[in-house]
Amino acid sequence: MLWGSAVQTKSDKLAIALEAIYAAAGSPGLWPRALDSIGNCFNAIGGVLIIQNQDDSLATIVSPRLKEAQLEYDSHAWKVDFLAPRLMERAMLSGHACLTEQDLATPDEIATHPFFTDFRARFGLGSIIGTVVLPHPKIPVVLSVHAALGDPAYTDDDATLLERILENVEKSLALTVRLTEAETHQLVLAEALSRLSCGVFLLDGSGKIIFKNDKASEFIGGEINAPGGCFVVSGKNYAAFVEVCRELLSNGQAEDRPPKQKQPIVVRSGCNTSVVLRVLPVEARTFDEQPFATSRFLVLATECLPAEPVDPALVRDLLELTLAESRLASLIGIGKSPREAADKLSITEETARTVLKRIFSKTGVSRQSELAALLSNVI
C-alpha cells in the first residue's frame, strides 16, 4: 500500500501479494499471509493451496480467515470435495489456465451437492477460481481463491490476473519445495541453500556472486563462468540471460506488475551436462540474515539427468505446451507408453492419447520416437 493512502489500489494489492509470495519462498510458514494477500487482489475471503504429496496424501494451507473451514475440511469434509480431484483431471483436457466452479460442476451439483449446500454454505463461501501449478515434477498443487457467498462470479479479467500471479506462485513454491526436501526448517537461509539438491547462485545487481552452494560450484565451467566473482553465461545464451536480468531490475522501478515468464535458459555445465537456469527476483527485505541484504537475483541451476523425465515445467516453457501436456510429454520422452504414462498421471489411457495427439500437432511431430528426439535436442 502506498504510504499515506487509506485505500489500496489494484496495483497496490498486486505488489503486496507478490512481495508476500516471494517472502514465503524461504519461509513456508508465511504462505497463509501470502494466500491472504492473493485473496485481497480479488476482494475475496482468501486463498487455498492443496498439495498432493508423493504418497498421494493431501496437505492444505489456507488464509487466516479460512482456518476454521480448513479444520472441518481436514477432519471429514474432504470426503465430499469433488472439485479438487476434478480440477486435476480436467486440467489435462482444458485449454483454460484457470477454472471456476461453473467449469467443474453442473448447475444441479452446485445447487444440491453437500459440498456446496452444507460445507461451503455454512462457512459463507461462494464462487471459486483456481488451477494447478507444478513446483516439482511429482508434486502438483491446486491454488484456488474463494469469494464470499453472494459475491459476483469470477470474470475473464479475474482469470487473467490470477494467471499473472500464478507464474510467481510456481517459482516461489519451487524454492519452498527445495527447502522442505532439504529439511532446513531449523536452519538459517544460508545453510538451507547450501543443502539444496539444485545449484543456487545468489547475485547482487551487478551480477557479483554473493553466495553459491556446493552443487552450484560443480556447474561452473563450460557455459557457466565466474570471472572476478561475477556470474557469466557465455555462448548463444549470453544475450538471453542479460535480457532477463535487465527486465527484473527495471520491473520494480517502472511497473506494478510481475515480469512476464521467460523461456528457461539451457546451458552446458563444466561437467558437460545440460543445466536449466531460472532467474528469480529477490527483495532485500525478504531476508533477515546476511549476506542476503544486497541480493537482487536468485539463479536456480537444475541438472537434466539422463533416463529421468524432463521437468514438465521446463518442457512447457521450451515447447510452448500446457502444463498438463508437458507432464505427459516428459514421460513419453523417456520411453513410457501412453498406457504407462496414464497410470503414472492417474488418468485414463484414452485421455492420454487425446492429449498426445494435441502435443504432436503443436510440436510438428507424428510419432512418440520423434517427440523423444525433439526433447533430447532442446535439452
DSSP H/E element including 216: helix 214-219
Question: Please, are residues 341 and 350 in contact by the beta-carbon 8 Å criterion?
Answer: no
Q: Are residues 121 and 250 in the same domain?
A: no
CA distance 44 to 64: 12
Average confidence (pLDDT) over 354-361: 90
Q: The domain that contains 334 carries what CATH number?
A: 1.10.10.10
Q: The domain that contains 176 carries what CATH number?
A: 3.30.450.80
Tell me the C-alpha to C-alpha distance, in Å, between residue 311 and each of 43, 104, 144, 212, 275: 34, 27, 23, 22, 12
Identify the band that residue 56 occupies on the pLDDT scale cut at 50, 70 and 90.
confident
12-22 pLDDT, tens digit per residue, is 999 999 999 99
- Average pLDDT across the chain, whole number: 81
Q: Are residues 29 and 165 in the same domain?
A: yes
Q: Are residues 67 and 153 in the same domain?
A: yes
261-280 pLDDT, tens digit per residue, is 456 788 887 777 778 888 88
Q: Which of 95, 106, 134 is nearest to 313 (CA)?
A: 134
**What pLDDT does 45 receive?**
96
* pLDDT more than 70, % of the chain: 82
- Asked if residue 342 is part of any domain, the answer here is yes
Q: Are residues 56 and 162 in the same domain?
A: yes
**What pLDDT does 371 receive?**
81
Average confidence (pLDDT) over 173-178: 80
**What pLDDT does 28 receive?**
82
> What residue has cell string 516428459?
330
Q: Are residues 229 and 277 in the same domain?
A: yes
**What pLDDT does 94 receive?**
65
- Candidate from 100-109, 202-211, 307-316, 355-364 with smallest mean pLDDT: 307-316
* pLDDT more than 90, % of the chain: 29
In 27-104, which ranges are continuous DSSP H helix?
Answer: 31-41, 67-75, 83-90, 101-104
Q: Are residues 372 and 237 in the same domain?
A: no
C-alpha cell of residue 316 = 512447457
Average confidence (pLDDT) over 186-193: 50
Question: Please, are residues 335 and 372 in contact by the beta-carbon 8 Å criterion?
Answer: yes
Q: Tell me how many domains the chain contains.
A: 3
Identify the band that residue 378 occupies on the pLDDT scale cut at 50, 70 and 90.
low
- Asked if residue 1 is part of any domain, the answer here is no
Q: Which of 212, 333, 326, 219 is nearest to 266 (CA)?
A: 219
The Cβ-side half-sphere exposure at 316, using a 13 Å CA radius, reads 19
**What pLDDT does 137 receive?**
78
Identify the band that residue 379 occupies on the pLDDT scale cut at 50, 70 and 90.
low
Q: Are residues 71 and 153 in the same domain?
A: yes
**What pLDDT does 329 receive?**
86
- Asked if residue 4 is part of any domain, the answer here is no
Answer with the one of 138, 157, 181 that is the final residue of a domain.
Answer: 181
C-alpha cell of residue 306 = 539422463
- Asked if residue 32 is part of any domain, the answer here is yes
Looking at per-residue pLDDT, the higher value among 49 and 198 belongs to 49
Average confidence (pLDDT) over 333-343: 87
Answer with the one of 245, 278, 303 that is the final residue of a domain.
Answer: 303
220-262 pLDDT, tens digit per residue, is 988 899 999 999 998 888 888 888 888 877 764 444 544 444 5
Q: Are residues 149 and 36 in the same domain?
A: yes
**What pLDDT does 95 receive?**
56
- Asked if residue 52 is part of any domain, the answer here is yes
**What pLDDT does 65 receive?**
95
- Asked if residue 3 is part of any domain, the answer here is no
Burial 290-307 (b: 16+ CB within 10 A, else e): eebeebbbbbbbbbbeee
Q: Which of 298, 34, 32, 279 is nearest to 189 (CA)?
A: 298
Q: Are residues 145 and 47 in the same domain?
A: yes
**What is the number of other CB atoms lying within 10 angstroms of the CB of residue 98?**
23
Q: Are residues 237 and 266 in the same domain?
A: yes
> What residue has cell string 469434509?
77
**What pLDDT does 66 receive?**
95
Q: Are residues 200 and 318 in the same domain?
A: no
Backbone angles phi, psi at 133, to 5 degrees: -120, 160
Answer with the one of 284, 303, 322 that is the final residue of a domain.
Answer: 303
Residue 203 confidence (pLDDT) above 90: no
**What pLDDT does 251 receive?**
63
Residue 131 confidence (pLDDT) above 80: yes
Question: Please, are residues 299 and 213 in contact by the beta-carbon 8 Å criterion?
Answer: no
**What pLDDT does 196 receive?**
59
- Asked if residue 39 is part of any domain, the answer here is yes
**What pLDDT does 332 receive?**
85
- Candidate from 96-110, 200-214, 219-233, 364-378 with smallest mean pLDDT: 364-378
Residue 91 confidence (pLDDT) above 70: no
Residue ranges making up the domain that contains 351: 312-378
- Asked if residue 72 is part of any domain, the answer here is yes
Contacts of 253 (CB under 8 A, 6+ apart): none
Q: Are residues 284 and 359 in the same domain?
A: no
